[in-house]
Structure 1
Amino acid sequence: MNDRDNDVRADVQARVDIEADIAEIAGLLPAPAPSNLPRALHLHHKEQLMQHIDRDQATPSSRLRRLPRPAFLVPLTALALGGLLTAGITLTTGDDAPPTTTATRDTTQPAAVLLHQISTAAGRGDALKVRDDQFAYTRAKVRGADLTSGKAVVSPLRETETWLAQEPGPLHTLGLTKADGETLPINAELGDTNGTPAGLSRPTYRWLSALPTDPDRLLTYLYAKAPKSDRQERSQTVFDCIGSLLGEVMPPKTAAALYQAAAKIPGVSEAPAAHDAIGRHGVGIAREDNTFQTRTEWVFNQQDLTFLGARSYLIKDTSYGKKGTLMSGTALIDHAVVDKAGQEPATSRRS
């Protein structure tokens, strides 16, 4: 065996060792926050994990090649968004089916009635023609809790802008994000050494267009594909999964189906006093997770039922903080499709 073969084997073994260390470090981190946190906060938590990895992977071997690490480090959205990783840790994908009562859930309940009204309003929108070489632009104001110390440390309100590539991928650079006057790239998700493809953690317009528009089929898909965690109720994970997609640029039929699917999730209720991160009040949809002890609320404009933002907070005293402690808050200000990363839409709303 020649030196080149030895080098290849050494590189392969190094990657195996890194993956093992990632799994071990992930297990040592605090329990993750709910997965509907803003994308910027998600990236902040991911950076905390990567700092642990970098420190523990220090080695004199010149052959050790580290996995790509995020270049943008700010305090999971929309949303995004929404990325769907909780606290920046990729969890195993479950094959769980939705509850057997899903298909027969009472659609006369107030939350279901409201969600069907929101679905009807969303379905009236015009479908866009989005090219694979374009970018989905989102501007939002966000707050979030950093849990890496074991306590919820809530960040001040900040404005973020993101440009997410619509190319199907897999991509190593997913787009750009801007916060506090600094614009930096968004790199592939942790562990995606070959790049991150379009999907739940990178919802392109084309991918969203391919989702089932039958609410029952869509809900079954989400229960199967949403990240799996024993630290959160399964139905809450799926609720958060849908919440992470709200505010994305998406086909009206997909948006309508998502709201109808949400109406079938057990535990969903109305939230009459809901408001977003900047205090805009509207009609709300909520769900409480009794595992992580949080309440997540979606807020919609009272007049046209468009999505305004979301908020999540503790419903009981926990090790992370007192009842009422904010876990995350978002306010969607603008979204559009643009031709280049870093470009602002011509009709951007400023507030």
Structure 2
Amino acid sequence: MNHRDTPSTGARRSDADIEAIARLLPPPAHRGLPHEQHLHHKERLMRTIDRDKADRTDRTDHTGRSDRTDQAAPGSRPARRLLRPALLVPVTALALGGILVTGVALTTGDDAPAGAATGRHDARNMQPAAALLDRISDAAGRGDALHVEDDQFVYTRSKVREADLTSGKAVVGPVRDTESWVSQEPGPLRKLGLTRSEGETLPINAQLGDTHGTPEGLGRPTYHWLSTLPTDPEKLLDHLYAKVPKSDEAERDQAVFDSIGSLLGGATPPDTAAALYRAAARIPGVTKVPSAKDLTGRTGVAIARDDKTFGARTEWVFDPQDLTFLGSRSYLFRDTTYGKAGTLMSAEAVIDVAVVDKAGQAPATSQES
């Protein structure tokens, strides 16, 4: 039997210790990061904890003794739509069991925009964005509905790029291929699926503090949960403003825009996808970008929004012909302590999405997205 299937006493003790620490964490401190990047930080923490727990389990012998280590390599990041529910902690509280989460940002001349955005919005530049989102919504609504059973997994293959901020400045890393398999079971789960990057496979565990498992929702958007969302754009937007976790630091409109972005590009019912785009058109500050590129260099049109609090612009890139979602990126539109205008904060390109029967299983056919 695989040791990961039967946790040792040491592993269970580790889980209990982590949950106890989570309950004792102090209130949120000033983040100093855009909302999207703060979510990225949280996911990096969870990936690192998952890696540490997997390493400890693998080092446990049949007598129950555990060769514990206090050092873990940086964790991999699954697709953005797999981000866990909010876990607001100050940076000083991220050193759990000797693990310190590093920052994520990115800078590269090739991926950066030709010119920095101004960050100014008015009623005139909302009209092109609304018209484009209306077309994208129509295209999404005409898509074929997937047949997804509760015991299946949604497979996503993507390319991502990220860097550390440990030096106080962005240190760019290479483009990485990532794969993820996310369980579609509606009930609370302790094991949400698998993620694979650079040949290493790790479990996607429940949200820190979810003793009885993580339920489906914004942090675990199953196909079933997505199908229950309102399909009237106004009602859907009201629902998201009510459900997206609030923060004193984050711009509220940006937080909802980012939450909608985290639901794009995966397995989504056509009616829900259409409603999400029309809901996004109602968020103040949304603009159209006539030409943009995703991480792989595919050129398309984009929908963007500037987070004026943190000086970061987020773009959703779409194929110019069929308006399918290609990926997203976030970069600074003005100089900040993290880098100069044009510094890429994150980037992801969705390559393939499919439905499979088992975690770790390759899809039978490739569906370019």
TM range (shorter): 0.7 to 0.9
CA shift for structure 1 position 145: 3.7
Greater mean deviation of Cα atoms: 197-206 or 137-146? 137-146
CA shift for structure 1 position 75: 4.1
**Structure 2: distance between partners of 1:231 and 1:148:** 22
Quote the residue 1:345 is aligned against.
Answer: 363
CA shift for structure 1 position 153: 3.1
Change (3 A) 1:206 1:350: closer
User: Amino acid of the residue matched to residue 27 of structure 1?
Assistant: A
Change (3 A) 1:147 1:196: farther
Given the alignment, which residue of 271, 276, 298 partners 1:280? 298
**Structure 2: distance between partners of 1:49 and 1:259:** 34
> Which whole-Å deviations, capped at 9, do the CAs of 1:160-202 have from their partners, x for residues lacking one?
0000000012111100000000111011112212211100010
User: Amino acid of the residue matched to residue 253 of structure 2?
Assistant: S
> Which whole-Å deviations, capped at 9, do the CAs of 1:50-103 have from their partners, x for residues lacking one?
99xxxxxxxxxxxxxxxxxxx995246742x142657x6479xxxxxxxxxxxx
User: Amino acid of the residue matched to residue 31 of structure 1?
Assistant: G
Quote the residue 1:23 is aligned against.
Answer: 26
Greater mean deviation of Cα atoms: 173-182 or 220-229? 220-229
Given the alignment, which residue of 266, 269, 279 partners 1:248? 266
TM score, norm. by length of structure 1:
0.77
Given the alignment, which residue of 261, 268, 286 partners 1:268? 286
**Residues 78 and 248, structure 1, Cα contact 8 Å, conserved in 2:** no
User: Amino acid of the residue matched to residue 269 of structure 2?
Assistant: P
Quote the residue 2:228 is aligned against.
Answer: 210
Quote the residue 2:214 is aligned against.
Answer: 196
Given the alignment, which residue of 319, 337, 343 partners 1:319? 337
> Which whole-Å deviations, capped at 9, do the CAs of 1:8-62 have from their partners, x for residues lacking one?
xxxxx988962354236x638x5344427997x75324356899xxxxxxxxxxx
**Residues 84 and 244, structure 1, Cα contact 8 Å, conserved in 2:** no
Quote the residue 2:251 is aligned against.
Answer: 233
Change (3 A) 1:138 1:36: farther
- Give percent identity, aligned residues only: 59
Quote the residue 1:334 is aligned against.
Answer: 352
Quote the residue 2:3 is aligned against.
Answer: none
Change (3 A) 1:171 1:50: closer
C-alpha RMSD of matched pairs (Å): 3.2
Q: What secondary structure, in the 3-state scheme, does the structure 2 residue paired with 1:273 have?
A: strand
Which runs of structure 2 are paired with 1:122-137 in the superposition (5 Å)?
122-137=140-155
**Residues 135 and 338, structure 1, Cα contact 8 Å, conserved in 2:** yes
Change (3 A) 1:50 1:33: farther
Aligned length: 303
User: Amino acid of the residue matched to residue 243 of structure 2?
Assistant: K
TM score, norm. by length of structure 2:
0.74
